[in-house]
Structure 1
């Protein structure tokens, strides 16, 4: 009886496992603007990508210009990087339809949202707590003056950094965020010192 029950359980599990293996997750389409789309890629041509949106979207295929797609991450784990078609004799335009000001603004917005390195804050906070407000000011003065390296940008769509205006906007905002976090760390450290000194004075007077 025990063996019959075991066989029945195995018989119920095997079809479910086979169905799960036959139904992989959706593909991920990463656009140049950083937007991710979940769905199933159906047709990919040099100029157009057609995909079936993930549920609960309507079961109709939609189309995207390949020029707007950075990469496709397939459900099986493989990736395919797509490049916009190159105009004859000129470089590819990774942000078609946007003027210089819009590209600059997009770079700044992306940096504000995605450059999240808090190392400068903690570094200057630690230096200020260790060296005090006087000597601790050396750390933020040095750290805030160094530009953020491109490898630390954490850009949502690295291909967009090929555009000079977008890159300039991203760099400017990343540097601004770094300076703000650097001096915020120093300010927090000074605040801690003020509280400690006030507490010591209060205990001495009492």
Structure 2
């Protein structure tokens, strides 16, 4: 029985690994690509798409990639943005909004939301919905320039994009919680059936 229990737990972990183990390539345009990075050379970044059924390798010029966030949480910045040549005062409201969106993609982490929603799903299913509905707070360590927080358009763009990321992380955590609850339920049911 213990072998079966161990097998089921390991099977659940193996099934969850592809959902969580992926790298994120952030392009200079702010676009994110979920992939498995294969190689970073002096001229290009080679990767495989995680949501693609084919196993083909794609490449991007290194100059188009701002940063790569690896599955283990490590980050590698490939291209620094030019030093702050434009101040917030000369940017239009739309540019500040877009900058806030871009910074949220690059800097907002929200890692704790995944595990909190996974844990609360097992205890009280509506809790992740409540967690997802609450917009995240902006931390000064998660922006490119702390002075931008004085601009309402920047803050609005940042909060909107960070909230989207938070909802995605809550969804992943809820899935983990539901799968874990289902696995535990099956194990308890099988144990009860075997003891009869």
TM bucket by the smaller chain?
0.3 to 0.5
TM-score by length of 2: 0.48
